[in-house]
A = this chain, B = another copy of it.
Amino acid sequence: MTLEKAFDPRLATGETTVTGRDVEMLRAIDRFGSMHRAAAKLGRSYPHLQRRVVELEDEIGQLTRRERGGTDGGGTRLTAEARDLIRQFERLRVELAGVTTVPESIIRGTVREQYGELATVRTAAGEITARVPAATEEVEIAVRADAVVLMEPHSPPHSHTSLRNQLSGVVSDLAVGDATATVTVEIADGVGLTSVVTAESVDRLDLAAGTDVIAAFKTTAARGTPLDA
């Protein structure tokens, strides 16, 4: 049974929350120039759509310029604020989609020391510093593959960067795609760390199954979730 990650993005303000349906509605109004045609194209009723527009504007401010009468009977156009709203929502959707799309690596460990929102965690691959909620012992550390940097093993020590977790390992799996490649580095027995890099980086770092590499990631990119509770 494979469970797929999914989500519903929302933009919330005290009272109302803007949903994907609302954004779809605004897009349709923008494209078709009137709420009537937007409602028709979306297959939803005009009265509810119209009320929703008013409701949103009561909360968020003017989103449309609605005019009735005139040679074409009138119509509705979006304001710049509405377009900003759409862009903001789209960015959120893309960012959230990244979470469900990008592979993540899970490393179990036990918390050694906690510093505010950070902690050092002992794992099979050595000590890792990560974001960990307070007062937890056993944790799972999750690292997104697009946050894992691969480095040549014999390069000078990278002490002058903010990459605090640097784990040496061996490439155990390499899937080169169109323009990107998914690389899994075994950093300890049975512990893999997956990274998504450009195909160009695969060439530049001379990566292949069996290659020695250093997999690095920032403390703030590693998130621990409690295992107990």
* Chain B residues in 8 Å Cβ range of A2: 13
Closest Cβ of chain B to A97, distance in Å, is 9
* Chain B residues in 8 Å Cβ range of A100: 92
* Chain B residues in 8 Å Cβ range of A90: 225-226, 229
Q: A92–B99 contact, CB under 8 A?
A: yes
A173 interface residue (CB < 8 Å to B): no
Count identical subunits in the complex: 2
Closest Cβ of chain B to A137, distance in Å, is 15
A122 interface residue (CB < 8 Å to B): no
Chain A interfacial residues counted at CB < 8 A: 79
Partner-binding segment picked from A46-54, A72-80, A200-208:
A200-208
Bound Cα distance from A130 to B168, whole angstroms: 26
- What are 13 A-B pairs at a CB distance below 8 A? A2-B13, A5-B10, A5-B12, A6-B12, A8-B10, A90-B226, A94-B142, A102-B220, A116-B178, A118-B179, A149-B163, A151-B160, A155-B161
A interface residues (Cβ-Cβ under 8 A, vs B): 1-13, 17-18, 27, 60-61, 85, 87-88, 90-92, 94-96, 98-100, 102, 104, 106, 115-118, 129, 140, 142, 144-147, 149-152, 155-156, 158-164, 177-180, 195-198, 200-201, 204-205, 216, 218-221, 223, 225-227, 229
